[in-house]
Amino acid sequence: MQIKDIQLSSPIIAAPLAGISNAAFRSLLYPLGAGLVVSEMISDKALLYHNRKTLDMTRTWEGEDPLAMQLFGHDVDSMVYGAQYLDTKTPCKIIDINMGCPVKKVLAAKAGSYLMQDVDYAYHLVKTIVENVNKPVSVKMRLGYDMKHINVIEMAKAMEAAGVAMIAIHGRTRSQLYSGQANWDYIYQVKTQVSIPVVGNGDITSVEDGLERLKHVDGIMIGRGLLSNPWLICQINAALNGQTIPMVTPMMKHDFLIELANRLIKIHGENVAIKEMRTYTAAMISGLPNNHAIKQQVNTIETQVEYHKAIDDYFTSLQPIF
């Protein structure tokens, strides 16, 4: 899959997940075969006002390449500033515009999927960004603002006309949030209407899901499915290449969690990192035996030493089972 002059090694893209897709987590997806990884969304206004926490979100881990950084906002001037900041002050290869986030805080800023309501304004906003940066620009959108206003085909055509290099589409409307089933029929229709790469997103949780979707689109974007199984990337890649699909063992999950904790500590410090590991740990051990007790234990842990011991003890206890 190619985005302008950027050749991806795989058509599998790791989606942006707010509060999840930091440099530590992203960096562990490249060795698994991700063709592109997208950062969690970054506020244009926060960049404009040099918010320290937001500036820290633009930090990268060595080897993050290719990386797309996602920007959200509404006002043309601040969005152009934010895009230029990502263009000139970060090593990202692609600047991604968020037109898909459905959460109230983002909608209140007239950003994210709010932009799906006005095709003309979205066109003007994105075209101005494209004209003021050197790196390729992509857009992540939804099917529409709600079920009565599904306009993804019209919006996709407008984004192509605005000069974007790739479109990623989540197969739900803003009003659906993450409920129900993603509707891929609309995504497939978009693929027939534009000439730039189209990437589909939504409910890809198995190798079979990935292979089926890739019959109809240029690439697939996986989000929540990677929290519990980041190896889904290499499993789909293996299937695409006619290779044996690798099995995921408990010790692979152990090693991933330990390395993620170590990297998070280097980025955020021990106290914050260990608290952040609660979300990753709960997702990773979901479905494993006797996981309730370790989830509760991790929720009370505050130090790296305690976390390592708890994870070591838990996965060691699973060895007779597996």
The catalytic position among 95, 101, 158, 277 is: 101
Residue with tokens 């290779």: 243
Cα–Cα distance, 200 to 313 (Å, whole number): 39
**Is-contact 173 152, C-beta < 8 A?**
no
**DSSP codes joined into one string, 130-148:** HHT-SS-EEEEE-SBSSTT
Judged on CB neighbours under 10 Å (0-12, 13-18, 19+), 189 is: middle
Q: If you ran DSSP here, which 8-state letter would residue 113 be given?
A: G
Cα–Cα distance, 280 to 317 (Å, whole number): 20
Cα–Cα distance, 259 to 53 (Å, whole number): 23
**Dihedral in degrees, nearest 10, Cα atoms 132, 133, 137, 142:** -50
Instruction: Please confirm, yes or no, whether 234 is among the known catalytic residues.
Output: no
Cα–Cα distance, 294 to 115 (Å, whole number): 42
Residue with tokens 């292979």: 211
Nearest by Cα to 111 from 32, 24, 45 = 45
- CB crowding 213-240: b at 16 or more within 10 Å, else e: bbeebbbbbbbebbbbbbbbbbbbbbbb
**Is-contact 169 204, C-beta < 8 A?**
no
Cα–Cα distance, 126 to 137 (Å, whole number): 8
**Dihedral in degrees, nearest 10, Cα atoms 283, 288, 290, 291:** -10
Query: Which are the catalytic amino acids?
Result: 101
